[in-house]
Amino acid sequence: MKKKLFIPGPVTVSPDVLEKMGTQMIGHRTKDASELQRRISDKMRKVMYTEEEILLSTTSGSGLMEGAVQSCTKKRAAIFSVGAFGDRWYKMAKGNNVPADLFQSPMGKHTTPEMVEEALASGKYDLVTITHNETSTGIMNPVKEISKVIRKYPDVVFALDTVSSLGGVKIPFDEWGVDIGITSTQKCLGLPPGMAIASFSKKAMERAREVEHRGFYLDLLSLYDTIQKKDYQYPSTPSISHMYALDYQLDKILNREGLENRFNRHREMADHVRSWAKEHFELFAEEPYASNTLTTVRNTRGINVKELNRKLGERGYAISNGYGDLKEKTFRIAHMADTTMEEVKELLALIEELME
């Protein structure tokens, strides 16, 4: 039985969007391919609130995260981590021989503007990475405040992981000075996994020109230069199937639902799950930093999460256990993409019934 997914990616995909994945192929060096890719970029600029260039990559989000740290660090990267995905960015730097330092917040805490200020004031760094929404802990960082600090350092390229929040929360890239804002298809955008999308500012592009070893497949400058030269065509064969589905889903997001409505729906679902969590358990995150796209619940009643999820599975639902060391100590309920309040309410009622 197919389960309704309340896990933080991949999400359940609407049947009409899924159907677009089955569209017959076109050549990736055709005018139609150029038009498709340009259309997607124009629409993504709206979702990302940016005037900058858009890069598409046939990888999951991690691909463009790796590409960002590798292509745009000339001196040293300051990697801020509030959990597994911040740590991952540090591993990517190390694995590619990119000089980097890791600044970890205590488990369950956010990145503070003060931490960022202290690191950048050293003058050692020319790239900073921040996680907007940490999916392992359910923390949403105060990026607006952090961005004010980063702005004071014009030589620093600002890379932001918005993989589990873009499309569910308003993230004004240009207003916040984001140079490379990265997301994947399988979370709040509501598509199958397999494609990553990033904004790429002039500043990031100029930096990349000064970096000698940028890799090959994930070289963001090569993606950028190729789409300029070849009318939005990419150096390697992209997942054209994803592009059809993305083009269609972006129309639904922008025109059928509307961004404001979509963000409101995510906030309402988050408010509802948070009050439910506080009534029956506790929130793992401090409330001002609790994510609007997933909720991490502290398992204060000592329920068997694995068993609960097995029983939910029999009824056609799936949630996520805690991440890593937080397994059984917490569990996670995602409320993202095209999930409705009605579905959230059904899930919570079922959890209550199964806990009795």
Instruction: Tell me the C-alpha distance between 281 and 286, whole Å.
Output: 14
Helix runs in 140-258, H state only: 143-151, 173-176, 202-210, 220-229, 240-251
164 binds ligand PLP (CB under 6 A): yes
Q: Which 171-210 positions form the footprint of ligand PLP (CB under 6 A)? A: 184
CB nearer to ligand PLP: give 135 or 309: 135
Based on CB atoms, which residue is closest to ligand PLP, 85 or 125?
A: 85
The SS3 call for residue 225 is: helix
Question: Binding site for substrate: which residues?
Answer: 332
Q: Is the dihedral of CA 88, 90, 91, 92 positive or negative?
A: positive
Torsion of CA 121, 122, 125, 128, to 10 degrees: -40
Assess 135 for contact with ligand PLP (CB under 6 A): yes
Residue 55, helix vs strand vs coil: strand
> Which residue in the set 53, 161, 179, 219 belongs to the binding site for ligand PLP (CB under 6 A)?
161
Answer for which of 54, 61, 69, 96 binds ligand PLP (CB under 6 A) is 61
Instruction: Determine the size of the site formed for ligand PLP (CB under 6 A).
Output: 13
Nearer to ligand PLP, 299 or 320 (CB): 320
CB of 116 or CB of 163, closer to ligand PLP = 163
As a residue count, the chain comes to 356
Contact between 85 and ligand PLP by CB under 6 A: the answer reads: yes
Question: Is 292 an interacting residue with respect to ligand PLP (CB under 6 A)?
Answer: no
Q: Report the 10 Å Cβ neighbour count for 166.
A: 28
| Between 185 and 233, CB nearer to ligand PLP | 185
Candidates 56-64, 96-104, 151-159, 222-230: pick the segment binding ligand PLP (CB under 6 A).
56-64
Distances (CA, A) of 181 to 9, 100, 204, 232, 340: 18, 19, 11, 19, 26
Please tell me whether residue 62 binds ligand PLP under the rule CB under 6 A: yes
